[in-house]
Amino acid sequence: MTQLRPVGARRGGGPREPRRCRWCQRPLGARDGPGRPREYCRQSCRQRDYEARHRAAERGLDEGEIIVTRARLDGLQDRLWVLACAIEDVEGDLARSAELDDYRQALGWLLDAARPLVAELEVGPGTT
Ligand SMILES: [Zn+2]
């Protein structure tokens, strides 16, 4: 287990910023009708946030600190590393040649590197 203080967590925000899910930070659509504003984009995010806060409370962590497994954090960092390498490759490639085909290839390469991170979001940055 690893204690993790979220970096640059965008919570609350200014009045002009769209509200975001408390768990995955996905922007929340405007709620129509009365009632409390939504805090989560879906039920699984509500559940994960609840579990994370429960564990944090058990261990006496501050609000804003969560616990994630080492495996989960390593997986996320691996995918970020792949994306960072892709960015570097693409910048180098486009510095050498920037024809339309080069941009097409670069975009494909970047998307391939970025998709696993988005897939992570679909599952939710949980703790299992
Ligand atoms: Zn969410």
The verdict on 121 and 85 lying in the same domain is: yes
What is the Å distance from ligand 1's center to 127 Cα?
A: 14
**Total domains, the chain:** 2
60 shares its domain with 83: no
Confidence grade of residue 13 (pLDDT, cut at 50, 70, 90): very low
Same domain, 4 and 63: yes
Going from the Cα of 28 to the center of ligand 1, the distance in angstroms, rounded, reads: 8
Same domain, 64 and 27: yes
pLDDT in tens, 90-104: 999 999 999 999 999
Structure-token pair, residue 92: 């180098």
User: If you measure from the C-alpha of residue 29 to the centroid of ligand 1, how many angstroms do you get, rounded to a whole number?
Assistant: 12
* Same domain as 43, residue 6: yes
**Token digits of residue 44:** 């699984």
> Quick one: 8 and 49 in the same domain?
yes
Regarding whether 1 and 63 lie in a shared domain, the answer is yes
Distance 83 CA to ligand 1 centre (A): 22
User: What are the start-end ranges of the E strands in 5-92?
Assistant: 66-68
Task: Give the distance (Å) from ligand 1 centre to CA of residue 86.
Answer: 27
Which contacts qualify for 102-106: CB closer than 8 Å, 24 or more apart? none
Q: Domain span at residue 60?
A: 1-68
**3-state class (DSSP) for residue 20:** strand
| 31 CA to centre of ligand 1 in angstroms | 15
What is the per-residue pLDDT across 60-77, written as a single tens digit (0 to 9) for each? 988 778 777 898 889 989
Are 18 and 27 contacting, i.e. CB atoms less than 8 angstroms apart? yes
